[in-house]
Structure 1
Amino acid sequence: MSALLTMLKSNGATHARLLAGPILIVMVLGMMVLPLPTFLLDLLFTFNIALSVMILLVAMFTRKPLDFAAFPAVLLFATLLRLSLNVASTRVVLLNGHTGPDAAGKVIEAFGHFLVGGNFAVGIIVFIILTIINFIVITKGAGRIAEVGARFTLDAMPGKQMAIDADLNAGLIGEDEARKRRAEVSQESDFFGSMDGASKFVRGDAIAGLLIMAINIIGGLIVGVAQHDMSMGDSARVYTLLTIGDGLVAQIPALVISTAAGVVVSRVSTDQDIGQQIISQLFSNPSVLFLTAGIIGIMGLIPNMPHIAFLTLAGALAWGGWMLHKRRQAAAVAAEEIPPQAITQAQAAAAEASWEDVSMVDQLGLEVGYRLIPLVDHAQNGELLHRIRSLRKKFAQDVGFLPPVVHIRDNLELKPNDYRILLSGVEVGNGVAMPGQWLAIDPGGVTMQIKGTPTTDPAFGLPALWIDSALRDQAQVAGYTVVDAGTVVATHLNHLMHRHGSNLLGRQEVQQLLDRIGRDAPKLVEDLVPKTLSLTALQKVLQGLLSEEVPIRDMRTIIDTLSEHGPRLAAQAAGSGGQPDINELIALTRRALGRAITQQWFPGDGELRVIGLDVKLERVLSQAMTTSGGLEPGLADTLLREAQAAVERQESQGNAPVLLVSPVLRAPLSRFLRHHLPQLGVLSNTEIPDERIVRVTALIGGSNGQ
């Protein structure tokens, strides 16, 4: 029952709000057509005054124009109400004015007798002055401000819309916030446009007040003399006082509402209302108060001036300036006693922690010293920025996925010419770059030495020199590889991105890769993830390939292989209560990609000159891997030493440093040798295409090293 009553009350309130506008219009029309009793006329005049004061106070306390967006409509209805009261009071004055000063009600009598002392000449002058103030000063100024505001608001509207779209595209705001801001921009333009037109209501109301007063005075004289046999003097006195009272009781609310219109359109949008703005800005400087007090005090000392008024006001202003000065001194002393760092720390400590305080680590970053800033400054057209963009595109084409964006920032803790490369906030490489100089790298076999600052190529560790630009051509003739500072940093970054490609491939990148393939072959992706493998298992397989710098461009072959062998391995793992063997999946995928892997190390169709394992060493390694699961320290040192020698022999002969082993040994040997000899590739026999000819040109574990 209570719920039903609540619903009925809510519906009643809603219907009352809906009927407020039509009822007001009917009342206005009724006052223009139907005669009103004097009591009701007094009540409506009082309501008109209260409404005008309320409108002015609301305008004073608004902080931005849209807080009083209904003002143009309110202005229209208030003007109609005032004019309809003028019509109703004119009817009463002309019909009953001969009966006495209270013929049109107590309100008109009060304004006509007590406010102007019963002197109709004074009343006419006061009425005309109020009308001039309203018509020429307030209404004209507010109308001009509204006109200019509407023009500027409409001109700025496209720029504001573009700014909202830019914030939305940059991810700074959401769709709901963007929609809300667009609505505010549209409402603001509508408001100022409406105010430009609504100001004409007030202007017309002032003109109408003058005309109504003149018509009432003339009409009163005619009615009093012709119809009620009054003398010209009595008729002028009675009807003029009533007309002036009627005009003042309408013109004063009109002046108040005009002031409210000027306040709304002339204020500047801040977090303060108009009163707070005036107090905080007009009385905020003690020097202004002191100077004003001095000027007023000097004027008060002039003979025949009202000394008490001037000197009292000067003393009040001086006292206010002194209090404001003391307050500023106290604030300055308090600020000196508390260091700014302590204030900042106190504010930070007082604020509640939020997710905004959590700083995320950049997945891939580049920090540079201050002398390298021109290389990465967009305003200075930094060449390194363009190289990094090209580098990411080339990486995506060669490796098979888009690497994360490289976040570049300056670091004053670094030496001026130093830089460092970060992976998930951890340094993985560093180097030195000399802007304006060239790095001459010695690839081996240079014909002559040149003058320069010795250093090491940061990417591959080759001996190099920093040389001046004048020696560039000479260094190239001598056999050096010459590159500029930006290329040094870009090459180093590219080398580390390939080496750490497995760390750059996260779940998000894997999902984006699947989405990209799914656009062309959706069924292929659906059969693999999640039916056969989980997204995490696929990520581990791809990371295993990237850890040995095997490109994953051929995702169709990778997915076909995993879809073929995944169910079998998953069934075996389910039978033993475990997960599919990722290492076996990687080995099967490498076998399927064998032709591409071989081509990567040995371009063309020539014979494959590789490093082999001695039969005895291979047997020992197989036994160690299968029984103990690792290498003894002595065996590990021997293997590493002889692998290093074999790699040097291969490189000196111009052959690729590739070790060819059995499938069982390939994965463990690759993991062991990768950290010590990153340039060495480890392939299995099953990854070599049948048509390629293999020749062992270096041997690990042989008695003579061959």
Structure 2
Amino acid sequence: MRFSDISVAILVIVIILLIIIPIPLGLLDFFLALNIALALTILVLSMFMRETLEFSVFPSILLITTLFRLALNISTTRYILSEGQAGSVIAAFGDFVIGGNAVVGFIIFIIIVIIQFLVITKGSERVSEVAARFTLDAMPGKQMAIDADLNSGLINESDAKERRKKIQREADFYGAMDGASKFVKGDAIAGILITVINILAGFLIGTFMMGLPLVESISKFTLLTVGDGLVSQLPALMISVATGIVVTRSASEENLGTDVFAQLFMRRVVLYIVGSFLVLLGAGTPLPTLPFLVVGGAALLLGYRAMQVTKKEEKLAEVEEVPEDTSKDDMRRPENIMPLLQVDPIELEFGYGIIPLADPNQGGDLFDRLVMIRRQIALELGLIVPMIRLRDNIQLDANQYLIKIKGNDIAYGTIVFDHYLAMSPGSVEGEIEGIDTVEPAFGLPAKWIKSDLREKAELLGYTVVDPSSVISTHLTEVIKKHAHELLSREDVKNLVENIRESNPALLEELIPNLMMIGDIQKVLANLLSEGISIRNLVSILETLADHARSTRDVNILTEYVRQKLSRQISKQYFPFGEAKVVTLEQSLENMLMESIDTNENGTFLSLDPMTTQSILSSLSEEIKKLLQMGEQAIVVTAPIVRFYFKRISQQAIPELVVLSYNEIESDIEIQSAGMVSA
């Protein structure tokens, strides 16, 4: 453990022992001086901090200093009532500060207590309470603003994490200050009660136990008690002022002194008016001339200094300002056009009616949903989705949105604001009134219903979603469908570097000796184009390292990878361990194998158009029968022809799943529900 950890623990224990164990008067004087020094340190420190978190231990220090002050009060009370003295510090305050006059000292003490308790302490307590409440209320908005900046690319994940941590610490700090301010208030009340008890008990002890005359007893114990009260209330007053400064500190990049001078004494017009008015009062009225002339002259001098500083800043601004002609020349430079050529990978444009859904200040949660979309895609496909740009487009209808991939329009949809989309899962118990529409992501029939009908629709068996969910679901499906287009070489490089630390030997063997980043990108894009997750990247790269020596054809390498991922593919398409599928006739598979040709660019399938059309016709019929059985459209082929048959079927049925026998685990039970012929 560090010395600082041990010393703080020892300090708290010593403070507690002060309450119980009597200490020598010399040591008590030392502790009283230490108490004043500590309070002064806290007061000055509160003025020089730039933000509250620079003094995050302040609530704990408040508790410790309050306990220390009360322990000293108990020790001094013990000496005052038992021996009629309390050390040199209290005696000095009693004689020097209040001039040995008990009445004057008592009045000064009462004034200090009133200032501290009724003005500073209660004010600090109220400000702490309000600051804590408003800080906690503002937390959700600040969190959404951070997520918005993260989604828009203004900050990265590390910055977002740091800002979230700072917000949480601020909330914890103000919450702790709200509680700690109660200690300050309690300390002020305790100080008043201790003083009253000391005076009354001192009268009685001095008169009846020490045998002092009544007047002498009153004078002696009043001086001691007031001195003790001043010694304890002076640090308490400084701590209360420091508390008020800390909790009233607004957001600023400078300390209190800099802000005060910058905001109070840098308005030259204000200072000129105040200075002139004070000089007129001193010179033209019966008021004392010298004080008003001195203060007024000082105000005029400050105004003159503020004017000089302002002129200097304006000159610096003129030097730094770019001339108009130079700006025009910069506008003509070709490099300023380059940013216009950049195309965002994903864009979501929307009409002005959808802006409330994207604006966190209006309660919109679209930014939060974008974060969840990126996390969902990363978990499902292993792809880091690029930042999704949100833009309003006045050319769109008010409630219309448009999804773009690399600058091209891919999909669009329309929502009805303040409505919910109700979709029938196929077994609903009744109809519901609404606007007929089509769910944009999956093309299902649906209805836009009013918000007050939501509960009724759910009771009838409808699936009900809000407009933000409609947009985010549609965007998710579009991203999944076009994931292979979004995967760039830079993305692949980042994915590969992410596993370099745990698999250095694998990457040294594969890159660049066997394959380049571009070749790996093509393999991964082939997998994503058919909905196969690349999250298990280590297994994918190991398979490529095993087979890249025998072939450089990325399509063949993709088939090897698919076979390696057989367990993953089987779980994805056969979650229940059995299914009905469509297969190919043996004669068709033989014909396809014989039609595979090779050139310098790789292998391809050479079929005449009539044969291709016949195959597609037969495939459509068999898939139609399979769908009528309620099964998923899956075709299983021999491994060597799987890739080429997928190329053929993609023309007619893009969403068709084509698997090879080697991609299906042996424990999966599949039944052929039909066969495709040529």
Unaligned runs of 5+ in 2: 331-336, 356-384, 393-404, 409-484, 490-517, 558-582, 619-676
Where 2:23 maps in the other structure, the secondary structure is coil
| Whole-angstrom CA distance in 2 between matches of 1:110 and 1:344 | 72
User: Which of 342, 355, 360 is equivalent to 1:362?
Assistant: 342
- In structure 1, the partner of 2:461 is none
One-letter code aligned to 1:589: F
Q: Say if 2:232 is the partner of 1:235.
A: no
Deviation per residue, 1:637-656 (Å, 9 max, x gap): xxxxxxxxxxxxxxxxxxxx
Q: Say if 2:236 is the partner of 1:289.
A: no
Deviation per residue, 1:558-608 (Å, 9 max, x gap): xx99x999xxx9xxxxxxxxxxx984344x4142xx357985899989xxx
Deviation at 1:176, TM superposition (A): 4.2
- In structure 2, the partner of 1:511 is 524
Where 1:589 maps in the other structure, the secondary structure is strand
Deviation at 1:23, TM superposition (A): 2.0
Deviation at 1:19, TM superposition (A): 2.8
Conserved 8 A contact 2:279-2:292: yes
- In structure 2, the partner of 1:61 is 48
Deviation at 1:229, TM superposition (A): 1.5
| Whole-angstrom CA distance in 1 between matches of 2:189 and 2:104 | 20
User: Which of 144, 147, 163 is equivalent to 2:126?
Assistant: 144
| Whole-angstrom CA distance in 2 between matches of 1:120 and 1:407 | 75
User: Which of 235, 239, 246 is equivalent to 1:253?
Assistant: 235
Deviation per residue, 1:271-320 (Å, 9 max, x gap): 11222211111112111111111222222235442211111111111011
Task: Rate the CA distance shift 1:175–1:228 in 2: closer, same or farther, 3 A.
Answer: same
Task: Rate the CA distance shift 1:518–1:40 in 2: closer, same or farther, 3 A.
Answer: same
Deviation at 1:326, TM superposition (A): 2.5
- In structure 2, the partner of 1:379 is 352
Conserved 8 A contact 2:143-2:164: yes
Task: Rate the CA distance shift 1:331–1:66 in 2: closer, same or farther, 3 A.
Answer: closer
Q: Say if 2:576 is the partner of 1:589.
A: no
* 1:408-423 map, 5 Å: none
Task: Rate the CA distance shift 1:504–1:194 in 2: closer, same or farther, 3 A.
Answer: closer
Q: Say if 2:71 is the partner of 1:94.
A: no
Where 1:301 maps in the other structure, the secondary structure is helix
| Whole-angstrom CA distance in 2 between matches of 1:155 and 1:341 | 47
Q: Say if 2:245 is the partner of 1:263.
A: yes
Task: Rate the CA distance shift 1:84–1:365 in 2: closer, same or farther, 3 A.
Answer: closer
One-letter code aligned to 1:122: V
Conserved 8 A contact 2:66-2:183: yes
- In structure 2, the partner of 1:153 is 135
Where 1:340 maps in the other structure, the secondary structure is coil
Task: Rate the CA distance shift 1:224–1:539 in 2: closer, same or farther, 3 A.
Answer: same
Q: Say if 2:92 is the partner of 1:110.
A: yes
User: Which of 190, 194, 200 is equivalent to 2:176?
Assistant: 194
One-letter code aligned to 1:86: N
- In structure 1, the partner of 2:333 is none
Deviation at 1:512, TM superposition (A): 2.9
One-letter code aligned to 1:309: P
Deviation per residue, 1:179-220 (Å, 9 max, x gap): 433332222212111111111111111111111111111111
| Whole-angstrom CA distance in 2 between matches of 1:324 and 1:32 | 54
Moved more, 205-214 or 509-518: 509-518
One-letter code aligned to 1:293: G
- In structure 1, the partner of 2:29 is 42
How many percent of aligned residue pairs carry the same amino acid? 39
| Whole-angstrom CA distance in 1 between matches of 2:143 and 2:252 | 21
- In structure 2, the partner of 1:309 is 291
Task: Rate the CA distance shift 1:250–1:336 in 2: closer, same or farther, 3 A.
Answer: same
Conserved 8 A contact 1:363-1:504: no
Deviation at 1:114, TM superposition (A): 0.6
User: Which of 314, 333, 339 is equivalent to 1:332?
Assistant: 314
Deviation per residue, 1:388-426 (Å, 9 max, x gap): xxxxxxxxxxxxxxx99999999xxxxxxxxxxxx999x
User: Which of 196, 209, 214 is equivalent to 2:196?
Assistant: 214
One-letter code aligned to 1:83: L
Deviation per residue, 1:496-519 (Å, 9 max, x gap): xxxxx9x99976465233245483
Deviation per residue, 1:610-638 (Å, 9 max, x gap): xxxxxxxxxxxxxxxxxxxxxxxxxxxxx
Task: Rate the CA distance shift 1:504–1:141 in 2: closer, same or farther, 3 A.
Answer: closer
Task: Rate the CA distance shift 1:380–1:58 in 2: closer, same or farther, 3 A.
Answer: same
| Whole-angstrom CA distance in 1 between matches of 2:127 and 2:139 | 18
User: Which of 38, 50, 59 is equivalent to 1:72?
Assistant: 59
Conserved 8 A contact 1:364-1:424: yes
| Whole-angstrom CA distance in 2 between matches of 1:91 and 1:185 | 46
* 1:384-395 map, 5 Å: none
One-letter code aligned to 2:76: S
Deviation at 1:338, TM superposition (A): 5.4
- In structure 1, the partner of 2:280 is 298
| Whole-angstrom CA distance in 2 between matches of 1:343 and 1:241 | 79
Task: Rate the CA distance shift 1:381–1:30 in 2: closer, same or farther, 3 A.
Answer: closer
Conserved 8 A contact 1:363-1:404: no
- In structure 2, the partner of 1:226 is 208
Where 1:296 maps in the other structure, the secondary structure is helix
Conserved 8 A contact 1:365-1:408: no
Task: Rate the CA distance shift 1:538–1:193 in 2: closer, same or farther, 3 A.
Answer: same
| Whole-angstrom CA distance in 2 between matches of 1:34 and 1:201 | 23
Deviation at 1:32, TM superposition (A): 1.8
Where 2:252 maps in the other structure, the secondary structure is coil
- In structure 2, the partner of 1:414 is none
| Whole-angstrom CA distance in 2 between matches of 1:245 and 1:236 | 14
Deviation at 1:340, TM superposition (A): 2.8
- In structure 2, the partner of 1:19 is 6
Task: Rate the CA distance shift 1:600–1:152 in 2: closer, same or farther, 3 A.
Answer: farther
Task: Rate the CA distance shift 1:188–1:406 in 2: closer, same or farther, 3 A.
Answer: closer
One-letter code aligned to 2:214: M
Where 1:269 maps in the other structure, the secondary structure is coil
Where 1:188 maps in the other structure, the secondary structure is helix
Across the aligned residues of Structure 1 and Structure 2, the Cα RMSD in angstroms comes to 4.9
Where 1:322 maps in the other structure, the secondary structure is helix
Task: Rate the CA distance shift 1:171–1:319 in 2: closer, same or farther, 3 A.
Answer: closer
| Whole-angstrom CA distance in 2 between matches of 1:535 and 1:258 | 80
- In structure 2, the partner of 1:318 is 300
- In structure 1, the partner of 2:70 is 83
| Whole-angstrom CA distance in 2 between matches of 1:150 and 1:167 | 25
Deviation per residue, 1:121-166 (Å, 9 max, x gap): 1101110111111101111111111101111111122233333444
Conserved 8 A contact 1:537-1:582: no
- In structure 1, the partner of 2:515 is none
Deviation at 1:59, TM superposition (A): 1.3
- In structure 1, the partner of 2:434 is none
Conserved 8 A contact 1:225-1:231: yes
Deviation per residue, 1:448-502 (Å, 9 max, x gap): xxxxxxxxxxxxxxxxxxxxxxxxxxxxxxxxxxxxxxxxxxxxxxxxxxxxx9x
Conserved 8 A contact 1:361-1:424: no
Unaligned runs of 5+ in 1: 1-10, 98-102, 349-356, 367-374, 383-402, 411-422, 429-500, 543-555, 570-580, 606-690, 693-706
Task: Rate the CA distance shift 1:541–1:167 in 2: closer, same or farther, 3 A.
Answer: farther
* 1:458-497 map, 5 Å: none
Task: Rate the CA distance shift 1:582–1:246 in 2: closer, same or farther, 3 A.
Answer: farther
Query: For the pair shown, which has the larger CA radius of gyration, 1 or 2?
Result: 1
Deviation per residue, 1:347-398 (Å, 9 max, x gap): x9xxxxxxxx9969636899xxxxxxxx97743889xxxxxxxxxxxxxxxx
| Whole-angstrom CA distance in 1 between matches of 2:178 and 2:46 | 17
One-letter code aligned to 1:244: V
Deviation at 1:74, TM superposition (A): 0.4
